[in-house]
């Protein structure tokens, strides 16, 4: 397939050739700062000799540290963006007087709120110049290289350290309390934990597991990079260590499709998989193009699959723009917080306890599309108190996202 050269100065979507991909940027140089991690996951085929180097090269990359000042504005703007999709009286983290004309009011930094669960997704964006973006608007930080030019977010796992939970022996406790939106400088250390290649030769997919560890910066504020990497990146990824939030992101990179393949896929009916259980609490909404744009802006994400319907149909083979994987996580987390805040859970209603979400994991099963109704669903486990099943269904009632969360009730 011929490659289309990009011309500087053009808007992103004029740069895109809808039946091909433009010249890609050079991948980051390999270096070691996170341990090399060879994937041992089962694969239906032995990785091709042409791509097996990715198993060691990608985990050895040193990715740049991402800093942010934890002010309430980004979280506030996310709440503003969600205000029309969720009733104001049940928006998490904000009381009824904090609303004016159904829109939340910017919280005061003098009395800082905790960073709401999943709102970390709009902090610590990749700080990559536009000239270094790939033709589809994604960055090269986790890019395996050609021919794997299509990227999808397939799920992840987030753990929150609230400071009162048990920790592994020898782990540090100095900065792992919940993050406050108090304007303090914080850091996100990111690395590639593992890489898997699946598929027959000529149809391979590259699965990339990314780990992010978020913590307040130490004193002095400009802590040396070597010290940050040393205290935040343990050899055992199961350890929270000095991090307040540990997130696993699962991405899949695929080959380009021909124009005919993309057109056929865009018009093909999707397979419907039903959720195995009935929900006990739900919320239905219809994500709009403006919501997708706002979330893209808040996350500094220029991926065209969320911004251009023509690109998404012609190149990616989807009938409309896709709802972001991380946005789906925000929606499901908001659903759970609404449920807990409304005291509809039997555990909460009888004890009036405060709660903390300690763990969320999710997997994207099938796409959710812009301007199509989706239903957020949840149910509490009867056998495991504090454990919740969470999922999202598409307009046809098919399972689109499957997940679970653990809630710790505090005395």
Choice among 249-258, 347-356, 400-409 with the minimum mean pLDDT: 347-356
Q: What is the pLDDT of residues 46-96, one digit of tens each?
A: 444 589 999 999 999 999 999 999 999 999 999 999 999 997 644 554 444
Q: What is the four-CA torsion angle of 319, 321, 325, 330, rounded to 10 degrees? A: -120
In this prediction, residue 94 carries a pLDDT of 44
Position 41 scores a pLDDT of: 37
The pLDDT assigned to 85 comes to 96
**Span between the terminal Cα atoms of the chain, in Å:** 62
CA nearest to 344, candidates 384, 380, 300: 380
Give the residue-averaged pLDDT of 128-157.
Answer: 96
DSSP three-state, residue 314: helix
**Cα dihedral 84/94/218/230 (nearest 10):** -60
Q: Could you read off the pLDDT of 163-188 as tens digits, one per residue? A: 744 344 333 434 557 899 999 999 99
Contact 217, 186 (CB under 8 A): yes
- What backbone torsions phi and psi does residue 316 show, to the nearest 5 degrees? -95, -15
Other residues' Cβ atoms within 10 Å of the Cβ of residue 10: 10
User: Which architecture, in CATH terms, is 257-411?
Assistant: Roll (3.10)
Per-residue pLDDT reduced to its tens digit, 221-236:
788 899 999 999 988 8
> Per-residue confidence at 102, pLDDT binned at 50, 70, 90?
low
* Token pair of 379 as six digits: 């149910």
Pairwise pLDDT comparison (81 vs 346), residue with the higher score: 81
pTM, full prediction = 0.83
Mean pLDDT, rounded, of the chain: 83
CB 382 within 8 A of CB 332: no
Structural tokens at position 381: 């486990």
pLDDT tier at 381, thresholds 50, 70, 90: very high
255: number of Cβ within 10 Å: 16
What are the residue ranges of CATH 3.10.129.10 in the chain?
257-411
- Token pair 């991380």: residue: 326
């Amino acid at each position: 397939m011929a490659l289309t050269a990009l011309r500087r100065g053009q808007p992103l979507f004029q740069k895109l050739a809808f039946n091909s991909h433009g010249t890609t940027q050079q991948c980051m140089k390999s270096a070691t700062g996170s341990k090399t991690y060879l994937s041992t996951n089962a694969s239906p085929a032995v990785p091709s000799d042409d791509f097996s180097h990715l198993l060691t090269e990608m985990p050895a990359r040193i990715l740049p540290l991402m800093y942010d000042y934890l002010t309430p504005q980004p979280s506030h703007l996310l709440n503003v963006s969600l205000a029309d999709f969720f009733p104001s009286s049940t928006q998490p983290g904000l009381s009824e007087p904090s609303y004016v004309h159904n829109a939340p009011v910017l919280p005061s930094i003098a009395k800082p709120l905790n960073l709401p669960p999943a709102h970390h997704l709009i902090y610590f964006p990749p700080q990559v110049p536009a000239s270094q973006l790939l033709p589809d608007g994604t960055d090269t930080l986790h890019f395996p290289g050609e021919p794997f030019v299509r990227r999808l977010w397939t799920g992840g796992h987030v753990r929150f350290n609230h400071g009162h939970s048990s920790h592994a022996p020898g782990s540090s406790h100095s900065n792992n309390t919940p993050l406050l939106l108090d304007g303090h400088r914080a850091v996100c250390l990111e690395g590639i934990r593992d890489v898997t290649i699946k598929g027959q030769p000529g149809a391979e997919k590259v699965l990339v597991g990314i780990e992010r560890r978020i913590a307040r910066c130490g004193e002095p504020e400009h802590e040396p990079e070597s010290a940050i990497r040393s205290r935040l990146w343990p050899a055992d990824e199961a350890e929270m260590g000095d991090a307040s939030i540990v997130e696993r992101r699962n991405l899949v990179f695929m080959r380009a499709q021909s124009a005919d393949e993309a057109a056929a896929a865009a018009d093909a009916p999707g397979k419907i998989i039903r959720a195995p259980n009935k929900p006990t609490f739900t919320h239905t909404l219809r994500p709009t193009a403006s919501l997708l744009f706002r979330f893209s802006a808040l996350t500094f994400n220029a991926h065209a699959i969320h911004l251009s319907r023509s690109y998404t149909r012609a190149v990616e083979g989807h009938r409309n723009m896709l709802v972001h994987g991380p946005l789906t996580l925000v929606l499901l987390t908001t659903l759970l917080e609404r449920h807990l805040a409304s005291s509809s859970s039997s555990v909460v209603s009888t004890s009036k306890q405060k709660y903390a979400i300690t763990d969320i994991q999710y997997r994207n099963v099938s796409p959710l599309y812009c301007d199509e109704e989706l239903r957020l669903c949840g149910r509490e486990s009867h056998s495991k108190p504090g454990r919740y099943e969470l999922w999202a269904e598409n307009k046809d009632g098919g399972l689109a996202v499957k997940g679970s969360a653990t809630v710790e009730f505090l005395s």
